[in-house]
Structure 1
């Protein structure tokens, strides 16, 4: 009975070993078949090419650090410009913000250049004629002849569209580095109306810088304006008034003579 059990175990172990030996070549053969296929050869060659290119980049950067620094700087700057490239929504938000700033001022205070530029942009926006073009590193805002939803023949015909030679005349703003440069330039001194001073004489249009003595005097007066007030002058004035009243009261008064009737 014991010998039968031992024989059974030996037979099972031999069967398991034979099954494992039969399965191992089949698995390795399948992997070898996939590796040697066209797709496997192409993937291995692609990985080898990338590996060689990376090795050459590292070796070249180590041999020429200045050139590698310039390339990395240019690539980083291009990536930053692409990431901070403003879109059309940012332009409309900036336009509305500047329009509200001008709306809070009186027409007599607004700068004529700032007001005219903002009013023209708002007009193009309300008419649907503002266009935005992204060039990757920067953006352009220009005006078109018709709205995008217009169904007129002139608006739909491609032969009557805007010629490219006139494109530079239609550019309204340039966006770069999260800023709209022409819009910010037009809004400088937007609360200063230069027309108010054009009727002044020539000698009042030019102001000379103050001298050193004038600056020192102004600073001294400014510091003295912050000092606490003293009551010495008032006390002295009150003392003079009191002494004058005592003097007047001490003088003898002449009797008033009655008129004889």
Structure 2
């Protein structure tokens, strides 16, 4: 089982998970041209994808998903609320295979098991996901304003985590955003701050953790060094053991092993 990011941040998000010959893309907030270029960096092309899972309807996660899926005939999985709020993205004439899922119910695509879970965010019916090959778990959490006991339960025991570290609280408060946007980003339906992400991490069973990547960093209200330091302090590891999912490059393939 391995995974890689095409890019992570407010300008676009996409993550690829691979188990054997099954590959799923989580979100697609890039244009078709940009998605193709970013997939090529991972030695992938559209035919390699068994499906796209969409977490919620915001542009940076769903903006390119439906056109890409329609062009290359890739099935899509999403909640009913996300589907209802995504009509502006869906081509008028299409033969998309749209699979509506419950955010509490597991489903499988080929060799990949997907466990969605609901999260507090300012979208209609947002979810995040834990991916598994039956033995190993990859937990993904971005676009969440606060943590919940259910999130802690879902992310405990993962061998890999992609965890939102969107902003530093002081940088957000003194930064260039409008007061309304600061309230949204820092609110209970916004995005996780570094120390909140660290607090969540401290509550998890990390005994099997092999990889952790800080994701969805704000370009104006955070730095990779601050995000790394916050998570490393919890894990008791060197800062550079914590990876960064950045906007331009994402991150290259990471493999989850049994050892």
**In which range does the TM-score fall when normalised by the shorter chain?**
under 0.3
The structure where helix makes up a greater share of residues is: 1
Structure of higher CA gyration radius: 1
TM-score by length of 1: 0.18
TM-score by length of 2: 0.18
The structure showing larger relative contact order (alpha-carbon pairs under 8 Å, at least 6 residues apart) is 2
The structure where strand makes up a greater share of residues is: 2
